[in-house]
Amino acid sequence: MSTAPPDAEELGRRVDAFLAEHDPAATEPLEFLRARFDAGLAWVHYPQGHGGLDAPRALQPGVDRRFREAGAPTNQPERNGIGLGMAAPTILAFGTEEQKRRFLRPLWTGEEIWCQLFSEPGAGSDLAALGTRAVRDGDHWIVNGQKVWTSMAHEARYAILVTRTDPDVPKHRGMTYFVCDMTAPGVEVRPLRQITGEAEFNEVFLTDVRIPDEHRLGEIGDGWRVSTTTLMNERVAIGGAAAPREGGMIGVVARLWRDRPELRTAGLHDALLRLWVETEAARLTGERLRQQLAVGKPGPEGSAAKLAFADINQRTSGLELELLGDDGLRYDDWTMRRPSEVDFTRRSPGYRYLRAKGNSIEGGTSEILRNIIAERVLGLPGEIRVDKDVPWKDLPK
């Protein structure tokens, strides 16, 4: 017999009861996280049995705050942003019950890190032009192709993968979406050195990789619709993440301004105030976006949030270098490290400035996001697309 979803008061009682039974100071972290998932206190808005209690999404921050105040271990979301922000909602929307049971729990606990195999050398902004082929072979698919700009591929256990399964139909209709085992034979990960000197991104080569059909998400040929769900969640995850006032880059620069009065000039004061106001407006807009998410699915508004994030982050990191002058030109480490997270606040000003350049590319270029906002939010005429009805195999390569 079904029961009504819990309200904030009931959720509070459940958290208190859970903490009484699982002392954070005395419980092994992984055991604690697994138990929290099983109690439905991981994603409270997810269905029962999949880490949630069918509660309103808006109640999640309150639950997280109670666990944080109790000193509970976290699932290190900074290491698994793709899994938590993109793979999980896609699996929830399109996965079978068996897939949800298999993947969601170890994804949330951080036992299995995820990456995203979408972009290709010839299909970045135009994802539907991708050419990685998946050919049916009985109960399996054989995949061949190359993906690029893949964050965390060097640590990932699984990947969300979109492929071309039918080259004889227009590009948006012949795609199929899979979960790919990154330890499978034929998967090769190579580092890509970035402007920061690090290798946070990768290129991934897939050579005769066998993927069981039971790891397909959605219907054959419906990969574009599944991918769109992933991309909308990705932009919300990047640009619409919850942040306190003066969180992120603006907080770093505001503290620098307060602590180093000798750096202040009238012109830079005006620039800082303008960026502070823009950052606060974007933060409050993000709050409203998350409230909308609480009652539905992410829409094109996430593209605006991500666009604003990229622009403000780049200009704020640039202002920090202007304030520091010669000191801002120093860079602390050119070693080709393989980082497990992107951290803007605990690194050097030089790193922040260089790394922010990627914000307008990753997760959808700013140019593409402006097109989405123009067409889907403002209702402006769409760009002319002459390849809309052309079979993929006949497109120029």
Whether residues 141 and 281 share a domain: the answer is: no
- The reply to whether 111 belongs to the active site is no
Q: Does residue 334 sit in the same domain as residue 238?
A: yes
Q: Is residue 239 part of a domain?
A: yes
Q: Are residues 207 and 232 in the same domain?
A: no
> For residue 362, what pLDDT is reported?
83
Q: How far apart are CA 61 and CA 54, in angstroms?
A: 15
Q: Do residues 144 and 158 share a domain?
A: yes
Enclosing domain of residue 362: 228-377
Give yes or no: residues 206 and 233 share one domain: no
- Which of 102, 50, 110 lies closest to 78 in space, CA to CA? 110
Among the listed residues 198, 200, 203, 234, the single catalytic one is 234
User: Which letter does DSSP use for residue 168 in this model?
Assistant: T
Give domain status of residue 392, yes or no.
no
Question: pLDDT exceeding 90 applies to what percent of the chain?
Answer: 66
Q: Which amino acid is at 6?
A: P
Average pLDDT for 359-378: 87
285 versus 143: the higher-pLDDT residue is 143
Residue 356 forms part of a structural domain:
yes
Same domain, 70 and 171: no
For residue 82, which of 142, 137, 158 has the smallest C-alpha distance? 158
How many Å apart are CA 236 and CA 289, to the nearest integer? 8
CA distances from 272 to 2, 257, 394 (A): 53, 9, 51
Q: Over range 335-340, report the average pLDDT.
A: 75
For the chain, percent of residues with pLDDT exceeding 70: 93
Residue type, 122: G
Specify whether 282 is located in the same domain as 322: yes
Q: Is pLDDT at 1 greater than 50 in this prediction? A: no
The CA R_g of the chain, rounded to the nearest whole Å, is 22
Look up residue 175 and give its two tokens: 């795609």
pTM of the complete model: 0.86
Q: How many domains does the chain have?
A: 3
Instruction: Let me know whether 185 and 257 are in one domain.
Output: no
Together in a domain, 284 and 335: yes
Task: Give the pLDDT confidence of 191-248 residue by residue, as tens digits.
Answer: 998 888 888 889 999 999 999 999 999 999 999 999 998 988 776 666 556 677 888 8
Distance CA(125)–CA(98), nearest Å, equals 33
Contact 29, 110 (CB under 8 A): no
| Burial of residue 374 (number of CB atoms within 10 Å: 0-12, 13-18, 19+) | middle
